[in-house]
Amino acid sequence: MLEVVDHPLIHAELTLLRDRHCPPQRFRSHVRRVASLMVPAVTANLETEPVPCETPLEVTSGVTPSRPIILAPILRAGIGFFDGFLDLLPEASTAHIGLARNEETLRPEPYYFKTPPELPKAEVIVLDPMLATGGSAAEAVTRLRAAGAVRLRFACLVAAPEGVDTLHRAHPDLPIFTAALDRCLNAKGYILPGLGDAGDRIFGT
Ligand code: PRP
Ligand code: URA
């Protein structure tokens, strides 16, 4: 399943952050806002269960999420995208997945992996602003599944069709949400039109 989250405010924020002249401070704010704007779509089918709720006047019924939520940012750039999700899901815990794409082979190289103990029963939202070749996202989901995760979904800011295909082939049941589906990859594995290197633009490196 691929959902391109379509909203005029997302389009406007994306236009501002794609601009090569957008400095890191503003870039981070735009990424954070797009992430928050995506949360309702990414969580639309989360299961809830009924709970009693005592208002100042009487007892009524409400709902609470049936399972814990884990946000799983792929380091580094995933951290910038994570903030906007955490703003709307403040009780989520975090799984950190350190992967660095080798500039020559374009394969992800793992360097860190730490997950909360509730991973097997949680709804896990894997976060990375960029889905380019799809290698990093596929590797992150493989590692999370090996560690016990069962319910996963993936959210990104910008996806290339090549990355969507790779991720679908590696994990056919994984729902993918993106704010934009761009045209293609260039010879160096960068997304076109894209936004450049997300990690460098978030952290000013
Ligand atoms: C970027 C991006 C993704 C990956 C996407 O991270 O944030 O993790 O590349 O590329 P792929 O789909 O071809 O695997 P990078 O490895 O450059 O590390 P960074 O976040 O530390 O900048
Ligand atoms: N990683 C990025 O940060 N940007 C791209 O376009 C591709 C991979």
Domain contains 12: yes
Q: Is the residue at 56 inside a domain?
A: no
For residues 172-191, average pLDDT: 98
Q: What is the CATH number of the domain that holds 31?
A: 3.40.50.2020
Find the 42 Cα to ligand 2 centroid distance in Å: 22
pLDDT, position 191: 98
pLDDT digit string, tens, across residues 150-173: 999 999 999 999 999 999 999 999
Would you say residue 129 lies in a domain? yes
**pTM, to two decimals:** 0.97
Q: How many domains does the chain have?
A: 1
| DSSP character string of the chain | -EEE---HHHHHHHHHHHSTT--HHHHHHHHHHHHHHHHHHHTTT--EEEEEEE-SS-EEEEEEESS-EEEEEEETTHHHHHHHHHHH-TT-EE-EEEEEE-TTT--EEEEEEE--TTGGGSEEEEE-SEESSSHHHHHHHHHHHHTT--EEEEEEEEE-HHHHHHHHHH-TT--EEEEEE-SEE-TTS-EESS-S-HHHHHHT-
pLDDT tens figures, 95-138: 999 999 999 999 999 999 999 999 999 999 999 999 999 999 99
- Say if 60 falls within a structural domain: no
Tell whether 136 is covered by a domain: yes
The confidence band for 18, taking pLDDT boundaries of 50, 70 and 90, is very high
- For residue 96, the model assigns a pLDDT of 98
Q: What is the pLDDT of residue 164?
A: 98
What is the model's pLDDT at position 68?
98
- Kindly state whether residue 178 falls inside one of the protein's structural domains: yes
The reply to whether 105 falls in a domain is yes
In which domain, by residue range, is 93 found? 2-45+67-203
What is the pLDDT averaged over residues 7-24? 98
Residue nearest to atom 7 of ligand 1 (CA): 77
pLDDT digit string, tens, across residues 56-75: 999 999 999 999 999 999 99
Q: Which ligand is nearest to the CA of 98?
A: 1
What is the predicted pLDDT for the residue at 182?
98
Q: Residue 147: its pLDDT value, please? A: 98
User: Ligand 2: which residue has its CA nearest to atom 3?
Assistant: 197
**What pLDDT does 118 receive?**
98
Tell whether 11 is covered by a domain.
Answer: yes
Which of the listed residues 130, 131, 186 should we mutate to test ligand 1's pocket, taking the one with most ligand atoms within 8 A of CB? Answer: 130
Mean pLDDT of the chain: 98
